[in-house]
Amino acid sequence: MQNGISIYPGLDNTLPENLALIETAATLGIRRLFTSLHIPETDPTALKRDLGILLQAARAHRMEIISDVSPATRSLLGLREFSLSAFRMLGITTLRLDDGFTVEDIAHLSHNTQHIRLQLNASTMTPHLLQSLLDAKADLTHIDALHNFYPRTGTGLSEETLVRKTNLLHKAGIRVGAFLPTQDGRRRSPLKDGLPTLEDHRTMATPLAARHLVALGIDSIFLADALPTERELQAIASLPDDRITLAIDLCTQDPAQKELLSRTFTARLDEARDAVRAQESRHLLTGSIAPEHTAARPRGTITIDNSDYGRYMGELEILKRNLPADPRVNVAAHLQKSDRFLLRYLSPGRKFSFSFPEKNDIIKRIEQKGHEPS
């Protein structure tokens, strides 16, 4: 996925902190950067002092630089006119057009010769507005979309709204991004209540919220707050865009079952009542699976059929309802409680995979403590 970070020169972070954020993100392979040039609380002196340095650092790492702009941006930057060449000279490669731009403005700008891409506000998109852009001959090949973030608690989008507007844009061939807040890092001023697109994500763990956005069909994810943690950066840097990733707790240590669990699967098109069935699992199996841990199977259990099931050996399923124990079926893992709601998105044909730690967090903390200098 083409995921990104956000910087806000003239707000919370110092220049060294913003430069370090760009450096860390780039090291992890993140290649998009979002900034806003019309936040009322911005210190304009600090913005003008730091912006060029930050954009130069981002350009050095070949980042796509996306700027949220409005007609008021001209006065904030001291520009004589709203000129694409001026933004290009700053290194800005994509303009997210906020309030103040007409359909005709957007259509005209989409045919620019400055190689500047445009971004629409996905959260305010309507069928009428999209049709108006098509009627005005906007060049959609130079356009993508990005949802809003919502600083005030209680104002973020519902899941239904995000999905509806995202699907509308997808039907026109427009890719769509969304924002996540930080949970463990520094939240952006002035409210510091997080900057999510979905209200559900305001307090949700960032790695889980990122997997949720992928399940909802979002094409790119931006960490919106001032200073996310490295763990949160890693979560979006390593996120696959072609499948739903489910965090699990292992019950088995059998190498054949663990190897199978590490693969990517497709939910079968002939959807079963009781379980999500992996289309490929029996063909991917290497070796034999002996009966092991044939316990009761509550909802969210990941099972693998053992050798006693004959030709079904290697059948991998995720249970959608509680089932009793079966001596022919191994309980290989369980979905983590936080991830069980993601089961609803595993519709027929969706790809999915599992993430499971080799060591739990307690062991990691013990090992880290043991390596600390005395």
The domain that contains 149 carries what CATH number?
A: 3.20.20.70
CA angle 283, 284, 288 (to 5 degrees): 90
Residues 205 and 263 in one domain: no
For residues 275 and 186, state if they share a domain.
no
Digitized pLDDT (tens) for each residue of the chain, 374 residues in all: 899 999 999 999 999 999 999 999 999 999 999 998 878 888 888 988 999 999 999 999 999 999 998 877 777 777 777 788 889 988 999 999 977 899 999 999 999 999 999 999 999 999 999 999 999 999 999 999 999 999 999 999 999 999 999 999 999 999 999 999 999 999 999 999 999 999 999 999 999 999 999 999 999 999 999 999 999 999 999 999 889 999 999 999 999 999 999 999 999 999 999 999 999 999 999 889 999 999 999 999 999 999 999 999 999 999 999 999 999 999 999 999 999 999 999 999 999 999 987 544 433 433 444 433 33
Pair (231, 86) in one structural domain: yes
Q: Are residues 136 and 172 in the same domain?
A: yes
**CA nearest to 183, candidates 152, 207, 155:** 207
User: What residue type is 199 in one-letter code?
Assistant: E
Residue 10 domain-assigned (yes or no): yes
Same domain? For 73 and 109 the reply is yes
Last residue of one domain, picked from the residues 207, 226, 241:
241
Residues 32 and 110 in one domain: yes
56 and 145 inside one domain: yes
With respect to residue 12, please indicate whether it lies within any of the assigned structural domains: yes
Tell whether 253 is covered by a domain: yes
Domain contains 59: yes
Residue 232 lies in a domain: yes
Stated pTM of the model: 0.92
255 in the same domain as 174: no
In a domain, 362, yes or no: no
**Whole-number Cα distances in Å, 371 to 323, 359, 364, 366, 367:** 45, 16, 11, 9, 6
**232 and 263, same domain (yes or no):** no
* Under 8 Å between Cβ of 227 and 21: yes
User: What range defines the domain where residue 234 resides?
Assistant: 4-241
Q: Partners of 323 in the beta sheet?
A: 297
Let me know if residue 118 belongs to a domain: yes
Q: How many domains does the chain have?
A: 2
Tell me: do 166 and 306 sit in the same domain. Answer: no
Other CB atoms within 10 A of residue 220 CB = 19
Do 100 and 180 fall within a single domain?
yes
Q: Is 365 contained in some domain?
A: no
Based on the fold, state whether residues 175 and 211 are members of the same structural domain: yes
